[in-house]
Amino acid sequence: MLDWENLHYLAALAKAGSLSAAARRLRVEHATVSRRIGSLEEALGVRLLDRRGRKVLLTTDGERIAAMALRMEEESMAAERLALSARSDLGGTVTLSVPPALAAARLVASLVALQRQHPGLVLQVLGEHREAALHRREADIAVRLRRPVDGELSAVKLGEIAFHFYAGRDYLASMPPERWSFVGYDDSMADAPQMKCLRSYAGDRPIQFVANTSDLQLAAVRAGAGVGILPDFMVDGDPALSRLEDVDEPMRREVWLVVHTDLRRSAAVRAVKEALTEGLTS
């Protein structure tokens, strides 16, 4: 009998492009992906991978079967969305993809209150900057900092986040502007609007501390690493930090609540959307 789960691993490899990337996507070991696809080759009696040293390519048969596996995966995800949408009770698991700092500061409290009201509801919150693929059910609901343009998605704008430049009070008192250094994102967020704004403001001055989350940047700015561009909701009321006043207008990013159109009628998804809206607009 064919193990359908092995086809899932082949589909992941086809999407990711390498065994290691597929393993990260599936949250398993590299060897597990190789073993699963090896089992699929044995069951089908065809060679799916061309293993050339450390590089692995799909054979012609592998590409054809991977395409079938991807179509099967799409249909499976559509069935899951249909099943969740058909449920009238506030139960089951709803997965959310949200920017981590925004989730911690503005969303978790509302979600916990919702879960207390409905103990049968399981909330899986993924704090991540990437845009989860809702059509593949990587998440059921996403909070994004830009409006989606592709896919069968329903999006509602909830507001905007303002960013200002901040630095530690002691840092500003001891360091003249021409000697400032800056705190920014690493390469994973190099194209983020706030990072572009930071580079423009810094000019020739160095960005000497980089991190992949705004929480880490806030900690670095507070510790005296330099000037950072941070969302106001993270900093307001912090006595250790000062907002730079030489920038007339804050940088703003839109906040969008996004759900796959197949899930708009789901009672659980609607309840979570209401909780997110309350957290973001209160």
Domain range summary for the chain, segments of one domain joined by +: 4-85, 91-144+259-281, 161-253
E-only strand ranges, 169-250 = 182-185, 207-211, 227-231, 241-243
pLDDT tens for 17-63 read 888 888 888 888 888 988 999 899 988 989 999 877 667 888 988 89
Per-residue model confidence (pLDDT) at position 164: 94
Same fold, 4-85 and 161-253: no
What are the two backbone dihedrals, phi and then psi, of residue 162, each rounded to the nearest 5 degrees? -95, 140
In CATH, what number does 4-85 get? Answer: 1.10.10.10
pLDDT along the chain (282 residues), means of 10: 84 87 85 90 90 80 89 75 64 88 90 91 88 83 88 88 95 95 91 93 96 93 96 90 84 92 83 90 79
pTM: 0.69
The phi, psi pair for 199, rounded to 5°, reads: -60, -40
pLDDT at position 171 is 96
161-253: CATH topology is D-Maltodextrin-Binding Protein; domain 2 (3.40.190)
pLDDT of residue 2: 79
| Domain 91-144+259-281: assigned CATH number | 3.40.190.10
Q: What is the DSSP letter of 53?
A: T
Closest CA to 273 of 133, 180, 139, 175: 139
- The model's pLDDT over 194-217, given as tens digits with 9 standing for 90+, comes to 999 999 999 999 999 999 889 999
